[in-house]
Amino acid sequence: MLHIFISGGPVMYPLLACSIIVMTVIIERIIFWIGMDKKRNKALVDEVLDLCRTGSWETIRVKTKGSKDYIIRILVSGILHRDFSMAKAMESAATEEIKGMQKYMAVIDTMITVAPLLGIFGTVIGIILSFEMLGTAGIEHPQAVTAGIAQALITTAAGLGIAILSVFPFNYFNSRIEKAALDIEKYATSLEIVYEKLSNNGEHKGAKNEG
């Protein structure tokens, strides 16, 4: 591997940096999503919605205290601002949660684009060196150009390899973000419907008592 790396020429060093960066980000995002899965508490989310139907706000506060489930944090944000703008409060909280999920995704996206370009750059340099060697040694010594051709092929392969191996986790992380956004929308909408129904029932009872 060391021989192949050296044969690839100077462009292999930025390619190595790209591979280290993208691998670090991928590992960090894997750990992040494993942590997010462990923090999820679907039973508590359903319980919060049930408690909202009866307007048990204090019970919700006690039960959700210290919860690290992102859905619960968003719902609690809406509940705390229910007298002002529940929807906007949840939207703001959801934006912060999604922002955390998208962290470093731009880095992977950049590496997917940059690595093949660096590979092509190395290819061009290798071909230039090959022609220079060919001009110096003459066509009767083709073995003189093998170093330049090897450099061209190695950098291309390295750049494409980094990009290909980065696409799979990149798409996976994006699918997780999309799924999380859909879950947030589903539960936030459920809370809005429950609260609207509770408010309408309260107004209906108040009007009935006045009558």
Which pLDDT belongs to residue 207?
39
R_g of the chain, CA atoms, integer Å: 28
Which pLDDT belongs to residue 206?
44
Which pLDDT belongs to residue 25?
96
Beta strands in 45-117 (DSSP E): none
Alpha-carbon gap, residue 7 to 54, rounded angstroms: 71
pLDDT digits (tens, 9 = 90+) for 147-168: 667 777 889 999 999 999 999 9
Position with higher pLDDT, 53 vs 29: 29
pLDDT digits (tens, 9 = 90+) for 114-140: 999 999 998 888 888 777 776 665 556
189 — pLDDT class (breaks 50, 70, 90): very high
Flag whether pLDDT at 210 surpasses 50: no
Which pLDDT belongs to residue 205?
52
CA angle 207, 209, 211 (to 5 degrees): 70
Which residues have a Cβ under 8 Å from the Cβ of 181 and sit 6 or more positions away?
94, 98
Distance of CA 101 to the CA centre of its chain: 5
Query: Would you kindly state where each structural domain of the chain is located, as residue ranges?
Result: 11-197
DSSP at 148 = H
Q: Structure tokens of 41?
A: 């508490």
Cβ atoms of 14 and 21 within 8 Å: the answer is: no
Which pLDDT belongs to residue 183?
94
179 — pLDDT class (breaks 50, 70, 90): very high
Cβ atoms of 76 and 68 within 8 Å: the answer is: no
